[in-house]
Amino acid sequence: MKIHHLRSATMLLTLGEQRLLVDPMLCKAGVMPGFKLFGGGRRPNPLVSLPSGSEEALAAATGILVTHRHPDHLDEDAMRWIRERDLPVWTNPQDAPKLRKKKLDARVLTSDALGMHSETIPVRHGRGLVGWLCSPVSSYFLSCPGEPKVYLTADAVLTPELLQTVQRLQPDVIVAPAGSANFGWGGDILFSVDELVTLIQKTESYFVLNHLESLDHCPTQRHALQSRMEKEGLAQRVFIPQDGQTWSWDER
Ligand SMILES: [Zn+2]
């Protein structure tokens, strides 16, 4: 198992024979409008360019895995790039028909579709009205023989259901968004740092924290997150990659 973190939620996940490009946002910096609607701080997204080495990572992809259809997880540049290569796009039952209308080879991630066991589990991308507006979002559990079990929480807030999922599946590695995003209205739409601390404390999994420092509505900074994890005594199970950095199970 290897994760090549590119930017925000975009990464190349190598698991067994699969090299899955997860949630590709491939556009240049600053070409999308800001997502922060209220409270100041609105800036064009993404805030940063893709890191060097991205082209090689993208070229290695055998398929795409999409958690939801927000532009920071599947943008127009990514859709064009995927169409040109005719790569399969694995996703949830709600998004698959919509992605087919975009002329993508979208396929529902069924339990054995990738030659490994997988589960698709809905998560809440915020609470109340904002959570409803941001839905649907799917998390994915991937279990490949001979590899650590991986759970991608996708864009989520901490709920009793998510905790139950993690406790039931016992993943070895959890990839979770840590930018604590908000629109300046309706509350956080990703885990707060406190929620991440709770989630990490309630599991024995290793964590890769992403969705950081790339979008205007994600205020959490890597150095503050790292300091908090050290203060809580959790840093040995937490990896916070810089853009372009890789992490493999053997490095834990
Ligand atoms: Zn997102």
Q: Give me 35's structure tokens.
A: 């997502």
Q: Predicted confidence band at 189 (pLDDT cuts at 50, 70, 90)?
A: confident
How confident is the model at residue 133, as a pLDDT?
Answer: 85
Q: Where are the extended beta strands (E) located within 73-222?
A: 88-91, 105-108, 117-123, 137-143, 150-152, 173-177, 206-210
Q: Does the CA dihedral 34-152-173-121 come out positive or negative?
A: positive
Residue type for position 133: L
Could you tell me if 200 and 234 are in contact, meaning their C-beta atoms sit under 8 angstroms apart?
A: yes
User: Does the pLDDT value for residue 4 go beyond 90?
Assistant: yes
What residues have a C-beta under 5 A from ligand 1, the ion?
72, 155
Query: Ligand 1: distance of its center to the CA of 8 in Å?
Result: 8
Query: Ligand 1: distance of its center to the CA of 146 in Å?
Result: 30
Query: Ligand 1: distance of its center to the CA of 80 in Å?
Result: 20
Looking at the domain covering 2-241, what would its CATH class be?
Answer: alpha beta
Query: Ligand 1: distance of its center to the CA of 19 in Å?
Result: 21
How confident is the model at residue 115, as a pLDDT?
Answer: 92
Q: What is the mean pLDDT of the chain?
A: 95
Query: Ligand 1: distance of its center to the CA of 156 in Å?
Result: 9
Query: Ligand 1: distance of its center to the CA of 60 in Å?
Result: 23
% of residues, the chain, pLDDT over 90: 85
Query: Ligand 1: distance of its center to the CA of 135 in Å?
Result: 12
How confident is the model at residue 52, as a pLDDT?
Answer: 96
User: Does the pLDDT value for residue 46 go beyond 80?
Assistant: yes
Give the pLDDT mean for 220-242: 97
Q: List, edge to edge, every strand of the sheet that includes 63-65.
A: 105-108, 88-91, 63-65, 18-22, 10-15, 2-7, 246-248
